[in-house]
Amino acid sequence: MKNEFGAGIVLARMLKTGVYWTWVSLALSVSAAPGLGGRTFTVSPEQLDFARCRAQPGNVPVPLGFLNPNIEIIDWTTAPTPQAQPGEFVLWFVQPLAGATLLTYDAGSVYYWVGSVWKPWPAPEAASRRLQVRPFPEAHPIQGIKIIVPAQPESVAGKPSYRARLPFVTLIPVRTRDMAKEAVVTAGYPGLSRPVTELTDGVVAPDRNFRFAPPSYLHTNGASPWVMLSWPALVGIRGLAIFKGETERGLDGCVVESYLGSKPVGEQPDDRLWQPVGMRISDPAPFRSAQYVVITHQLMTGALRLRCTNGPPWDISLGEVLVFTYGTGSE
Residue 7 domain-assigned?
Answer: no
Q: What is the DSSP letter of 314?
A: -
Amino acid 331: pLDDT = 43
The total of structural domains in the chain comes to: 2
Residue after which a domain boundary falls, among 116, 140, 172:
172
Residue 12 domain-assigned?
Answer: no
DSSP string, 187-216: EEETTEEEE--GGGSS---SS--EEE---G
Range of the domain at 160: 43-172
Q: Are residues 145 and 220 in the same domain?
A: no
How far apart (Å, rounded) are the C-alpha atoms in residues 119 and 116? 10
Q: Are residues 233 and 319 in the same domain?
A: yes
Q: Are residues 83 and 213 in the same domain?
A: no
Contact present, 135 and 101 (Cβ < 8 Å): yes
Q: Is 297 exposed, middle or buried (0-12, 13-18, 19+ CB in 10 A)?
A: exposed
Residue 242 domain-assigned?
Answer: yes
Q: Is 153 exposed, middle or buried (0-12, 13-18, 19+ CB in 10 A)?
A: exposed
Q: Are residues 220 and 128 in the same domain?
A: no
Amino acid 84: pLDDT = 93
Residue 114 domain-assigned?
Answer: yes
Question: What is this structure's pTM?
Answer: 0.85
Q: Are residues 165 and 192 in the same domain?
A: no
Q: Are residues 185 and 313 in the same domain?
A: yes
Q: Are residues 220 and 310 in the same domain?
A: yes
How far apart (Å, rounded) are the C-alpha atoms in residues 19 and 26? 20
How far apart (Å, rounded) are the C-alpha atoms in residues 201 and 116? 36
Q: Are residues 193 and 321 in the same domain?
A: yes
- Written as tens digits, the pLDDT of the chain (331 aa) is 454 333 333 333 332 222 222 222 323 234 433 333 345 567 888 999 999 999 999 999 999 876 777 889 999 999 999 999 999 999 999 999 999 999 999 999 999 999 899 999 988 777 789 999 999 988 789 999 999 999 999 977 778 899 999 999 999 989 999 999 999 999 998 888 899 999 999 999 999 999 998 877 666 556 789 999 999 999 999 999 999 999 999 999 999 999 998 888 876 678 889 999 999 999 899 999 999 999 999 999 999 999 998 877 889 999 999 999 986 654 4
Between the alpha carbon of residue 225 and those of residues 164, 186, 252, the distances in Å are 41, 11, 13
Here the CATH number for the domain that contains residue 64 is 2.60.120
Residue after which a domain boundary falls, among 172, 192, 226:
172
How far apart (Å, rounded) are the C-alpha atoms in residues 64 and 76? 9
* Rama region for 167: left / alpha / beta (φ>0; ψ in -120 to 50; rest): alpha
Q: Are residues 184 and 316 in the same domain?
A: yes
- Which phi and psi angles does 199 have, rounded to 5°? -90, -5
Residue 199 domain-assigned?
Answer: yes
* Rama region for 202: left / alpha / beta (φ>0; ψ in -120 to 50; rest): left
Q: Are residues 194 and 225 in the same domain?
A: yes
Q: Are residues 190 and 136 in the same domain?
A: no
Amino acid 264: pLDDT = 82
Residue 14 domain-assigned?
Answer: no
Residue 248 domain-assigned?
Answer: yes
Residue 30 domain-assigned?
Answer: no
How far apart (Å, rounded) are the C-alpha atoms in residues 272 and 66? 48
Residue after which a domain boundary falls, among 148, 172, 196:
172
Q: Are residues 123 and 219 in the same domain?
A: no
Here the CATH number for the domain that contains residue 222 is 2.60.120.260
- Which phi and psi angles does 328 have, rounded to 5°? -135, 20
Cα dihedral 91, 93, 98, 101 in deg (nearest 10): -30
